[in-house]
Amino acid sequence: MRAGRRRDTEVTTERERTSYDAAAAQEKWQRFWEEDGTFSPLDDGSRERRYMLDMFPYPSGDLHMGHAEAFVMGDVVARYWRLRGFDVMHPIGWDSFGLPAENAAIARDAHPADWTYANIETQARSFKRYGLSLDWSRRLHTSDPEYYRWTQWLFLRFYERGLAYRRDSYVNWCPNDQTVLANEQVVQGLCERCSAVVTKRKLTQWYFKITDYAQRLLDDMSLIEGHWPDRVLAMQRNWIGRSEGAWVDFEIEGRDEPVRVFTTRPDTLFGATFFVVAPEAPLASEIVTEEHRAAFEEYLEATKRVTEIERQSSERPKSGVFLGVHAINPVNGERLPVYAADYVLAEYGTGAVMAVPAHDQRDLDFAKAFDLPVRVVVETGQPDPGETGVATPGDGTYVNSPALDGLADKKAGIAAITAQLAEEGRGESAITYRLRDWLLSRQRFWGCPIPIVHCPSCGEVPVPDDQLPVRLPDLRGAALAPKGTSPLASATEWVNVACPACGGPAERDTDTMDTFVDSSWYFFRYCSPNYTEGPFDPAEVAKWMPVAQYVGGVEHAILHLLYSRFFTKVLADLGLVDFPEPFLRLMNQGQVINQGKAMSKSLGNGVDLGQQIDAYGVDAIRTTVVFAGPPEDDIDWADMSPGSSLKFLQRAHRLAQDVASAAGTDPAAGDLAMRRVTHKAVADITESLESQRFNVAVARIMELVNATRKVIDTGAGPADPAVREAVEAVAVSLSTIAPYVAEEMWELLGHAPSVANAAWPVVDPALLVADSVTCVVQVQGKVRAKLDVAPAISEEELTAVALADPGVQRALAGREVRQVIVRAPRLVSIVPA
Ligand code: ANZ
Ligand code: ZN
């Protein structure tokens, strides 16, 4: 508390000394930008187009420090591009469906729409105050019927292509939110939103067939490699989880159909000693004998309470039950006991595995627990796994494997066995992916209704396009309370409809779509937000997309970003777009933390963005955030001092007040040293912004401000044209970071607003002398001057500079020069007459 109060008084004194009024400037320029439409693209083809996209916000409460960081980074990019002459589209909208609105509405007995749209207004005001160069004319909200009409339209196109389908399966269930979750929304076994332990339920649910695109999602990463953070690509690659191996068919005694397994090591088939099925795979309950059924069902119930993470943990002791049947090893006819065990997952491969305990640790752990045989078939030189309990997955020489014995090449072993199986019709080579289809239906109210009608005689019937949108019914408060089925089911009038196909009585689908569906295509909609003929105008999308720069949090690495890539590929297949990847570049900004920890209510270490802005002004907060470090690093607010950012901005502002030359003055006649400093600074700032090291750009602007102050106070003085050149460079480059101060400076410098329309300063390479050398000038053998000159300076130029030096002139005292000896760049020796 005390520290906080001290800071406040510091602020007051700082603001008393301020040379400009931040709050007044904020109001003045916000109004100007809005009335002027400064940040709407020209869209006349006169400039190359660039699309700068921020991950759109969820409207929960007002903006916070996290938004301050994320959005300033994108704004630096957008503003910089404008100054570089691009026609920049930088839109904003809201991801406005979702659970928090619904929960807030239940708590207040209100309607989610009221809470949502009120928050949107609050955030919109804050975004404007924060000085973002946004094009407000493209604003959209995914919960508007004008928007979700097209979400539904897209769903139907997916449905027609077999990419949206319904099936029965065990799904992730959040007992707290009372809804299903996609695999991507289960983090370490917990609900991504509320951290409740996720359980399994058997339900009929809607899926998008993203698995059809697994390989393309992998392949097309080559198009964004190097432009997206490596860790995001690695996370996507892992999530897709491609594996190469083989399908192997096993007969099960007493069953007609053979059972397939997926294995990455068909070459170890001779070492299979048992067979395992996932408890919840339909196969398990089909093959279990009557004698073992009771034990199996008890085990199945227990399995549902265990998270996927726990199931795969090597720490957890292996469990399982014998199913009373045997599988036949296709290569040697051996009878392998069949178990149900939860370390095998129903949703990967086929949900059944051949267990090779000698060479697979999970199988070995199980074999040890159930006293099953361990047979080495690859001699790796490591100790016997049966003795040590450590499996040997490595390379070696095949043993106990009639077809392979003596061979010492894993690739050849895999190829040989796979070929043999294929020839016998008992297997083939295979590629599998960990990626599962995207479970998109939710049993909650505040989302986009699924445009399907269920008819007792026609089955699933799509709502015809001309009847879209299927609007949400107007449920309120109590009716929304989660109860395991969708609240929409209670809106009987809404549910009961005539079947669009046969006209008979039918019912609407009562689930809503995961909000990630809404956010998988919003960036297309921005290109033509009011288009009524389709989700977007293909011609507008062709003009603006793909997105040149996307900025947002790394938490979306495998959810939103993977889904958006998938949507774009489907849209390409539908012929609606002609590029495979939506986002050419991705930047993940860091987080703002406080005292080493994420800000949270329970820790009480939250920093309020609004209060910070009230105390220091928008520009100082933006500058502090940008200057804190590279954009992707976290910022600990406890280590920041927005007060010193404010001081810096005031110093910059005072420069503009001091400039005494007229606007438009040619800088060529100005102080050369000052000019060199300016041009070197601009070159560095440019380079830093291009390479997205924005913090370095701030540092260079600070140096330029200090150097210019020196020249004004103790050098060439305020009237020197080089000073104007320097201060204009400060104003223009600073406008990317601190736009309000920069607008004020630009005005003081005698220019018409807005500085956002200024051109980026052009660097004169001749002024970019990397290093200067000292040249000694002698008159009659006596040193009369030391000059800083370019290493490559010509003899003529050096002579001229030396003769013009005041010290040399004094020494010559009006005498004629008889001879000049020049050893460029180090020495000039002058002999007077
Ligand atoms: C026999 C074998 C022998 C295996 C060996 C590995 C090593 P990745 O690499 O992740 O794709 N497996 C297959 N389906 C499974 C499921 N539904 N749940 C759990 N495990 C499953 O893993 C592929 C390997 O994981 C497969 O290859 C199979 O075990 C197991 F020395 O088959 B292996
Ligand atoms: Zn019908």
Residues 602-641: pLDDT tens digits? 888 899 999 999 999 999 999 999 999 999 999 999 999 9
Please give the pLDDT value at position 770. 60
Please give the pLDDT value at position 29. 98
Cβ(268) to ligand 1 under 6 A? yes
Atom of ligand 1 nearest to the CA of 245: 27
Of all ligands present, the nearest one to the C-alpha of 395 is: 1
Please give the pLDDT value at position 164. 98
Please give the pLDDT value at position 57. 96
C-alpha of residue 263 to centroid of ligand 1, in Å? 5
C-alpha of residue 281 to centroid of ligand 1, in Å? 16
- Residue owning tokens 């799904």: 171
Please give the pLDDT value at position 340. 98
Atom of ligand 1 nearest to the CA of 243: 11
Distance between CA atoms of residues 568 and 523, nearest Å: 10
Atom of ligand 1 nearest to the CA of 272: 1
Choosing from 260, 348, 364 the residue with most ligand 1 atoms within 8 A of its CB, the one to mutate for a pocket test is 348
Please give the pLDDT value at position 771. 66
Give backbone dihedrals phi and psi of 633, rounded to 5 degrees, phi first: -85, 150
Please give the pLDDT value at position 816. 92
Please give the pLDDT value at position 27. 97
Tens-digit pLDDT profile for residues 301-354: 999 888 777 888 888 999 999 999 999 999 999 999 999 999 999 988 999 999
Q: Which amino acid is at 186?
A: V
Cβ(262) to ligand 1 under 6 A? yes
C-alpha of residue 202 to centroid of ligand 1, in Å? 25
Q: What is the mean pLDDT of the chain?
A: 93
C-alpha of residue 354 to centroid of ligand 1, in Å? 8
Please give the pLDDT value at position 341. 98
Please give the pLDDT value at position 600. 83
Question: Among residues 355, 327, 361, which one has the least CA distance to residue 341?
Answer: 355
Residue 259, Cβ neighbours under 10 Å: how many? 22
Distance between CA atoms of residues 693 and 707, nearest Å: 22
Give the total residue count for the chain. Answer: 833
Please give the pLDDT value at position 110. 87
Smallest CA separation from ligand 1 atom 31, residue: 359
Question: Among residues 559, 558, 455, which one has the least CA distance to residue 514?
Answer: 559
Cβ(359) to ligand 1 under 6 A? yes
C-alpha of residue 554 to centroid of ligand 1, in Å? 30
Sign of the CA dihedral with 804 first, then 808, 814, and 819 last: negative
Instruction: Report residues of the chain scoring pLDDT below 50.
Output: 1-18
